[in-house]
Amino acid sequence: MPKRRPAPEISLSFLDVICCGFGAVILLLMITKTVEPQVLEESTVIAEGRVAELTEQLFELRGETTVLNRDLAAKREQISEFEEQIAILQGSLASSKSRYDSLQTTRNSNSIVAEQLAIARQELSDEEERLLGRDAEKKNQLIGGIPVDSEYIIFIIDTSGSMFSYAWQRMLGEMEATLNIYPNVKGIQVMNDMGNYLFSRYAGQWIPDTPARRQLILRNLANWNAFSNSSPVEGITQAVRSFYDRDKKISIYVFGDEFTGRSIEEVVLTVDRLNAEAGTGERRVRIHAVGFPVQFIRPPELQDTGIRFATLMRELTHRNGGTFVGLNDFRP
């Protein structure tokens, strides 16, 4: 009897299972290998982007560093310039101190010399007075026959149409010339023949004398065309009433071309009453006058106001210690 074949240990179903298992493993491996490059590629892109960003930041930092280095170099250069200027200023300061010390020494020496000169001058003055008498000083205080010993001066200016239209430039020249013979006074005042002030804020008070104020007076006076009745009486009486002071030496200068008032004698007596004599017999307010011959360009029968002005001013100046100057032309 033939032998029966032994039954196989592994059946076909088992092999199928094994094959399926290996197939599954292979499939998993294939899936895994397919996904890995995608992950690596994404990581590479992210890393490259980060590198680019950091590189850009690096370039920005390098640019900022360059700018800061340039600014630092400029600041250092400025510091060097400042240090150089400081050195120059320190040298100038030292030089100024040296000059100041020298000037102080010179000033002290000058003070000593000035004191010695003052003593010598006083001795000479005493000797001059002894030899020439007291009238010598009065003669030395005359310029062109006009006493210039006053400390305060008042200008009374005729602002009428005839003066402003014909003699104004000449008047400005005479005004400046008069100021020049008083290089330094304690106060100035300018009024018109009606008693109105050139500077209303200084009404009733003295204008301090400075070179700048003198120039301002001349500039403002150039266009001052205030109302006038062609008579200096109101201005003179207003000036004497407002500024008369026994302790001040005052001179009034009247600039005009005519007198239209009624009575010369009445004006003279009024001024005599206001400008009383001092204890020495002198008037405290001197009155000078300058006549502009504007009226004498008219026909003889119309020259009366000009003649009356000259008559009045001669009498007033004579009685009040002043001088009357009649010009021969009203043009500059």
Q: What is the pLDDT of residues 179-237, one digit of tens each?
A: 999 989 999 999 999 999 999 999 999 999 999 999 999 999 999 999 998 888 899 99
Structure token digits, residue 23: 């197939």
pLDDT band at 91 (very low <50, low <70, confident <90, very high): confident
Using CB atoms within 10 Å of the CB of residue 60, give its burial: 0 to 12 exposed, 13 to 18 middle, 19+ buried.
exposed
Whether residues 180 and 314 share a domain: the answer is: yes
Average pLDDT of the chain to the nearest whole number? 82
Tally of residues, the chain: 332
Q: Which of 115, 134, 153 is the last residue of a domain?
A: 134
Whether residues 70 and 216 share a domain: the answer is: no
Using CB atoms within 10 Å of the CB of residue 230, give its burial: 0 to 12 exposed, 13 to 18 middle, 19+ buried.
buried
Distance of CA 67 to the CA centre of its chain: 45
Whether residues 200 and 253 share a domain: the answer is: yes
Question: Which candidate, 313, 300, 200, 302, places its Cα nearest to that of 267?
Answer: 313
Whether residues 107 and 196 share a domain: the answer is: no
Residue 39 pLDDT: 53
What's the number of domains the chain is made of? 2
Residue 71 inside a domain? The answer is yes
Half-sphere exposure of 175 (CA within 13 A, CB side): 27
Whether residues 81 and 192 share a domain: the answer is: no
Residue 157 inside a domain? The answer is yes
User: Which range, of 109-113, 120-124, 146-150, averages the lowest pLDDT?
Assistant: 120-124
CA–CA distance from 254 to each of 22, 192, 229 (Å)? 141, 9, 15
14 vs 122 pLDDT, higher one: 14
The tens digit of pLDDT for each residue in 5-46 reads 665 555 556 777 787 887 888 877 777 655 455 555 666 777
Using CB atoms within 10 Å of the CB of residue 270, give its burial: 0 to 12 exposed, 13 to 18 middle, 19+ buried.
middle
321 vs 280 pLDDT, higher one: 321
Whether residues 125 and 194 share a domain: the answer is: no
Question: Which candidate, 253, 245, 246, 258, places its Cα nearest to that of 312?
Answer: 258
Residue 7 inside a domain? The answer is no
Which structural domain range is residue 125 located in?
A: 19-134
Question: pTM of whole model > 0.75?
Answer: no
Whether residues 126 and 156 share a domain: the answer is: no
Residue 317 pLDDT: 93
Conformation bin of residue 29: beta by default, left when phi > 0, alpha when psi is -120 to 50: alpha
pLDDT of residue 132 exceeding 50, the answer is yes
Percent of the chain with pLDDT over 70: 80
Whether residues 102 and 151 share a domain: the answer is: no
Residue type present at position 313: M
pLDDT band at 144 (very low <50, low <70, confident <90, very high): very low
pLDDT of residue 291 exceeding 90, the answer is yes
Residue 305 pLDDT: 92
Distance of CA 150 to the CA centre of its chain: 31
Q: How far apart are CA 171 and CA 330, in angstroms?
A: 8
Residue 73 inside a domain? The answer is yes
Residue 138 pLDDT: 44
Whether residues 119 and 185 share a domain: the answer is: no
The tens digit of pLDDT for each residue in 248-277 reads 889 999 999 999 888 899 999 988 888 877
pLDDT band at 137 (very low <50, low <70, confident <90, very high): very low
